[in-house]
A and B are shown apart, each in its own frame.
Chain A
Amino acid sequence: MGKELQTSIRIDSVEGTGCVVRGDDIDTDRIIPARFMKDLTFDDMGQHAFEDARKAAKGQHPLDDERFTHASILIVGQNFGCGSSREHAPQALMRFGFNAFVGGSFAEIFAGNCTSLGLPCITLGEVDLAKLMDAVELDPTQNLRIDLDARSLTSRAGEMSISIPDGVRHQLLAGDWDAMRILLDAGDDIEKTASALPY
């Protein structure tokens, strides 16, 4: 009945430098164009993150900006990741090097996919988000620290309070973000519910 499943790593904080991709409603087709989804694995997704947008920007895209080279926290606008359910989108960004996303809001399926991968999507109020974007663009070398326990984000722009849905925060803190082990734990309750269904 399968391997012993491990608890995933507890994620209580993410630290690193940031990269700012401005703009609202950035969709999953832009994050990873559909033609790269013909791979049977996610292994090569990283190199295609934002590929068409980067080509169109001729080297001026933030992902090609040397100052953001080692960034591990992606800072975005409203409704980031809208569109398709493709996990290829967070997979591409994760494999490119991002471990967390800070934005105004996230499309739900995208955020859910991120949780499954242990990538926190946290939101800031409009004023704080604008401040953070400016600060990181001005000084990309600064260290950002997302503290999920304290619900805060610290940068040179000061300490800001962050939002993250309670359930997701709990999953990350408890190391339960890879939901499968928890779901399997329900054991017979699954069959009980299934057999009570009229279909």
Chain B
Amino acid sequence: MANPAKNLFQKVWNAHRVRELASGQTQLLIGTHLIHEVTSPQAFAMLRELELSVRYPKRTFATVDHIIPTDDQSRPLQDELAEAMMSELEQNCREHDIQFFGPESGFQGIVHVIGPELGLTQPGMTIGCGDSHTSTHGAFGTIAFGIGTSQVRDLLATQCMAISPLKVRRIEVTGTLEPGVFAKDVILAIIRKLGVNGGVGYAYEYAGPVLDAMSMEERMTICNMSIEGGARCGYVNPDSTTVEYLRGRRYTPDDGDFEGKAAAWLALASDPGAVYDDVVEIDGSEIEPCITWGINPGHNIGVSESIPTPNEASDDERAGVEEALEYMDFVAGASIAGTPIDVAFIGSCTNGRISDLREAARIAATGHVKEGVRTLVVPGSADVQRQAESEGLHEIFRKAGFDWREPGCSMCLAMNPDKLRGREVCASSSNRNFKGRQGSPSGRTLLMSPAMVAAAAIAGEVVDVRRIS
């Protein structure tokens, strides 16, 4: 007899299965589709060419995040290409009757920040978005896939995708985190342990006491970077923290029976005795603030460690370590603490939420940005910005010499004017340290938590945030 105990992935999958396809794949219904300006215009064009309409406009929501400037968002945007992308999205939303959260709506922001804060993201959903960090939404017990433009077209036309079931790996983080160690450090430690392609073929279920104790925003940071670990998606089982976060949000169901809804959400959590394809345990008490030293997120170490040498790398990794050291121009064996930085970026769908800004502001309040360091603090959404400003965080940042900006993706991928120049080294709270990622083909990125970025901005170099009281 089949095991009646199921994990959340299986439950959500089964509820969304439309049919099995001849290829052996499943036609899976994607209940909520989020779109943005960069990966949707070609999809709408294909739809038009095929004379198809959007099947479920009410299940589709749009915002603008990647190309939007963070200094002056008034229209028309100064960058003509950006203006064209934004107008195209507005036009497509109008034509197909899709809800668009543009700047005038007061709710614009990074798609993975606004989905949760509007209550669009709820347990048990399937979500698709033409962006790899769609995995973020998994924090709510959602199965959320990043997709390419052809699949955006498929979702617009059919609300479905063809996909094979994934294996599920449960990652249990035990113990408690030391003060100064954040969700960002936990996910970096996980990626370091399991590798940047360790998750291929898997959904990651994050669990254990460390996850249980986390806020929704911290869980989002973890799920966000599932993709950096190679996993197709990641999730956390819904619990009372999830329910309380969702209570009273704009799109949270409000038919007089929130408690009934909440009970149904909680029942989606993986059953005791559910079977996993793999289980991994990580001791959270041993994690220290982590920093990347190389050119992929797996190239990370604790702040007290030294930059690896090619000799100590495994045979598979040696060439990668050599390439990374050459690109970064770092000395093998040197301590990562003390590495000078030129730029500090706080923001992104990984760490651009209110709790991230509060932590960074707490550190910012202890000093002043080092002369010569360029800074950007970019709230993840208009809502985060309002909240931060109502708490006076923007004043704390400004007083400490940080540049407080308008919401967007900004220097996470530098499709707007916020870019590194030349060989600059950037302490960044974003998610990717790939070559050229932050807008300069030779720019260098050190990923770390927002508090660590703030501390680095003040010191002008990488420091251990645990030393700052």
Contact = CB atoms under 8 A, between A and B. Distances in A.
A151 B116 CA distance: 44
Contacts of A2: 50-52, 157
Interface residues of A, number: 65
A27 B296 contact: yes
B25 A167 contact: yes
Contact of B150 (A37, A40, A87): A87
A27 B230 CA distance: 12
A58 interface: no
B82 interface: yes
Interface in A16-38: 23-25, 27, 29-30, 33-35, 37-38
Interface of B: 15-19, 21-25, 27, 29, 31-32, 38-39, 41-42, 45, 50-52, 55-56, 59, 66-67, 79, 81-82, 84-85, 88, 122, 124-125, 130-132, 134, 146-151, 153-154, 157-164, 196-197, 200-201, 227, 230, 232, 253, 261, 264, 295-296, 298, 316, 319-320, 323, 413-415, 432, 434-437, 439, 441-442
Contact of B161 (A55, A179, A192): A179
Nearest to A170: B23
Given A23-B323, A37-B415, A180-B157, A174 B23 contact: yes
Contacts of A90: 148
A23 B16 CA distance: 38
Interface of A: 1-3, 5, 23-25, 27, 29-30, 33-35, 37-42, 52-53, 55-56, 78-79, 82-88, 90, 105, 107-109, 112-113, 116-117, 165-168, 170-171, 174, 176, 178-180, 182-184, 186, 189-190, 192-194, 196-199
Contacts of B150: 87, 113, 116-117, 178-180
B42 A41 contact: yes
Given A5-B50, A85-B132, A113-B148, A55 B296 contact: no
Contacts of B59: 194
B154 A83 contact: no
A82 B146 contact: no
Contacts of A194: 29, 31, 56, 59, 159
Contacts of A196: 15
Contacts of A116: 148, 150-151
A178 B153 CA distance: 11
B59 to A, nearest CB: 8
Nearest to A33: B436
Nearest to A117: B150
A176 B415 CA distance: 34
Nearest to A5: B50
Contacts of A3: 50-51
A42 B124 CA distance: 35
Contacts of B432: 27, 29, 83
A192 B19 CA distance: 11
B203 to A, nearest CB: 11
Given A86-B39, A105-B200, A113-B148, A176 B22 contact: yes
A180 B154 contact: yes
B132 A25 contact: no
A174 to B, nearest CB: 7
A85 B226 CA distance: 13
B84 A40 contact: yes
8 shortest interchain CB distances as A-B pairs: A87-B148, A113-B148, A116-B150, A52-B441, A170-B23, A38-B81, A79-B197, A85-B146
B264 A198 contact: yes
Contact of B147 (A88, A109, A180, A199): A109
A179 B154 contact: yes
Nearest to A106: B200
A3 B320 CA distance: 48
Contacts of B149: 42, 86-88, 113
A8 to B, nearest CB: 11
A112 B155 CA distance: 14
A199 B31 CA distance: 8
Contact of B253 (A53, A189, A199): A199
Nearest to A53: B435
A25 B415 contact: no
Contact of A24 (B16, B19, B25, B319): B319
Q: Give the residue among A23, A113, A197 with the most B Cβ atoms within 10 A.
A: A197
A87 B147 CA distance: 8
Given A107-B200, A183-B162, A176 B434 contact: no
A196 B157 CA distance: 19
A183 B31 contact: no
Nearest to A40: B41
A167 B148 contact: no
Contacts of B24: 166-167, 170
B11 to A, nearest CB: 12
B158 A190 contact: yes
Contacts of A79: 196-197, 200, 230
A193 B434 contact: no
B68 to A, nearest CB: 12
Nearest to A179: B162
A107 B197 contact: yes
A183 B12 CA distance: 19
17 contacts: A2-B50, A3-B51, A34-B414, A40-B88, A41-B41, A42-B149, A85-B132, A87-B150, A109-B147, A109-B148, A109-B227, A176-B23, A184-B158, A186-B160, A190-B18, A193-B18, A198-B124
Nearest to A52: B441
A193 B16 contact: yes
Given A25-B196, A42-B42, A35 B319 contact: no
Nearest to A171: B23
Contacts of B25: 167, 171
A196 B196 CA distance: 37
A170 B296 contact: no
A112 B441 contact: no
Q: Give the residue among B38, B51, B319 with the most A Cβ atoms within 10 A.
A: B38
